[in-house]
Structure 1
């Protein structure tokens, strides 16, 4: 996997160079970091990191010369749908390339054997391509993630490195982690801004609904939820969900304007947000275990909910956000839900 990173970086740099010579539309770099140390725990979904590059607006996924040729070839094979549009509200499109890793651990840091009442150790290392197609108040996202679950995902090495740097104890049970398995995940999500307005000349709000699902051996589920935002100069994007599908829509350079119509002309924006998401889970490899080989597994909860409350700020080409996320119980032996922090940083260049 890591041998492909220089190739991907070269493709991205080449694409950015082509874009810079053809127009002034920005590319955007995003960095997402989620960790339960923000909530003073070290278990369950314990760490997630992702970097992504968002393209400028493109007319066509197939023919835009600013995109690598493989993007067009892939987009020709994926189900991509534009939302309804009009002459004064045209469809805008972006392509997102991502690299990420997620780490899952049980509760007992000292136990070296399998705990049948707790979740498996697991790492997930992946790359992905996402396609966003949107109008002013609707957006469709199609995402393809490919990667590896198991020791090749380097979950143990990544966690040990952080624990060494911070002087923490290391988990003793990584020898029991899920076995190596290629992972594929196809996601789709629709977002719809159903309400927006102003409470005062300075304070605006909007309400964004979302619904979609995931298909693949890594995760298969249906999900739906909403996000409510309140603040000054709300950005013209679709919320501040980070590692969820479609999260890269919140880049500061995206959209047909940095701020929603009716906002004051400014390079500064600040808002708070509350979001909720519910999932009907049919498969979760991090709980169900390996697909084709025997491995540690545990009975999962079919219905999982998640809420987040946070704050986001924009300044010129920068955006930073932080949220505290609470997820309900995911498996039978889990005594209570899990809380973690989600931090994101974006820059348009």
Structure 2
């Protein structure tokens, strides 16, 4: 009888200890989620400036997609794209068409953050041969693209929808030749001789949508985390028409609660949030990332040539893939990242794949 009472007491004691342990773990997880949400909320009142620079000189080449720059400003969180009086009336009326982009179902209690993105950018493309003055039918056209963009980002903790409208000029009006000549003169490089053969001036319009979803998030220690972010979307317009999908895996110290690093793709204009551990005394982090993106390309003006006028063109590849490997560091309100991107052949007569570097600096004002 005494032995039975002893065993029963031990069972009750173990059950009590197990219950206390579960309660403590649940409380810690709840506090962790609360800290992460609180960290994200703290940055919603800030403007964010993003500066992007991509160039193939990082890979010791000067051809194909040879340079890309962009500056973007991400607004503080706004209550509603429709009702917020900080937006002009015409914009609020236009935004009524964008409410289906919210990444939550109607009636959901999940908190949604909404931001507006303003951007200005330029891209340039050149063939392999910098000395030739005539058109090489087996190589890509000279081309530039100067544009301004307006974007709308709606996000929850683990999902982000991005819709962007880019409007600009392809051709000499893009100032790609002048910009490249200026940089080459400053650095003592020879100029490209074939810019007289670039695509003709054409107004470019591009509508872009992309959805990101953080499908996995894990903690390897108190400060080391990992996550996996999937994305999918597409572009429509005379500049580019395609469907794309891909993923990014990140691992490192104090991962930021954003949606990864993707410089000149939609959704790359993230804020620089506090780290996922929510500790104000531990405000720096560093992580590595690997990204993949695949595109089914229906139209690319930089390969297919001008839409309404005869121009130089090449036979493009329908399927194109990118692989990028990089590292990012965050400190206080700053984020700095660098990645090297390898891109598969974009047109049938292209000699080989292409690679370039991508540098991004972000600051929360």
TM-score where L is the length of structure 2: 0.85
| 3-state SS of 2:351 partner | coil
Note if 1:292 corresponds to 2:308.
yes
CA distance in 1: counterparts of 2:362 and 2:341, whole angstroms: 20
Structure 2 residue runs of 5 or longer lacking an equivalent are 1-42
Match of 1:41 among 58, 61, 79: 61
Question: 1:77 offset after TM fit, Å?
Answer: 4.6
Q: Does 1:333 align with 2:346?
A: no
Q: 1:53 to 1:171 in 2, by over 3 A?
A: same
Give the corresponding residue for 1:99: 120
RMSD: 1.7
Give the drift of 1:69: 4.5
Q: For residue 84 of structure 1, report the CA deviation from its aligned partner.
A: 1.8
Pairwise CA distance, 1:215: 0.3
Q: Cα offset for 1:24? A: 8.4
Task: Measure, in 2, the Cα distance between the counterparts of 1:214 and 1:335.
Answer: 27
Q: Alignment partner for residue 192 of structure 1, among 197, 213, 231?
A: 213
- Residue of structure 1 aligned with 2:76, choices 56, 64, 70: 56
Out of 207, 214, 228, the position equivalent to 1:207 is 228
User: Are the equivalent residues in 2 in contact too, given 1:150–1:181 (CA < 8 A)?
Assistant: yes
Instruction: Determine the structure 2 residue equivalent to 1:183.
Output: 204
* 2:317 is the alignment partner of 1:301: yes
Structure 1: how far apart are the matches of 2:99 and 2:175?
A: 32
- 1:306-329, CA deviations, whole angstroms, 9 ceiling, x for partnerless residues? 010111111111111000011000
Indicate if the aligned counterparts of 2:275 and 2:283 stay in contact, CA closer than 8 A. Answer: no
- The alpha-carbon deviation at position 259 of structure 1 amounts to 2.2
Cross-structure match for 1:280:
296
In structure 2, the partner of 1:122 is 143
Give unmatched runs, 5+ long, in structure 1.
1-22
Does 2:188 match 1:172? no
Name the residue aligned to 1:31.
51
Deviations 1:286-310 (A, max 9, x none): 0000001000000000000001011
- Asked if 2 retains the 8 angstrom alpha-carbon contact of 1:79 and 1:142, the reply is no
Q: Distance in 2 between matches of 1:46 and 1:73?
A: 39
Counterpart-to-counterpart distance in 2, 1:45 and 1:53? 24
Distance 2:361 2:110 in 1: 29
Q: CA deviation at 1:269?
A: 1.5
For 1:201 and 1:68, locate their aligned partners in 2 and report how far apart those are by CA, in whole Å.
Answer: 45
Deviations 1:53-73 (A, max 9, x none): 001111111232333445434
Give the match for residue 242 of structure 1: 263
- Is the Cα–Cα contact under 8 Å of residues 234 and 263 in structure 1 kept in the other structure? no
The secondary structure found in structure 1 opposite 2:101 is coil
SS in 2 for 1:247: coil
TM-score normalised by L of structure 1: 0.88
Distance 1:35 1:235 in 2: 26
The whole-number CA distance in structure 2 between the counterparts of 1:71 and 1:185 is 19
1:102 and 1:77 map into 2 onto residues whose CA distance is: 30
Which residue does the alignment assign to 2:12? Answer: none
Structure 1 residues 69-128: Cα deviation after superposition (integer angstroms, max 9, x where no partner) = 454344345575111268763011111000000000000000000000000000000000
State the number of aligned residues: 321
Matched, 1:323 2:344: no
- What does the per-residue CA deviation read over 1:116-171, in whole Å, with 9 as the maximum and x for residues that have no partner? 00000000000001111111111111110000100000010010000011000000
Structure with the bigger percentage of helix: 2
Q: Is the 8 A contact 1:324 1:342 kept in 2?
A: yes
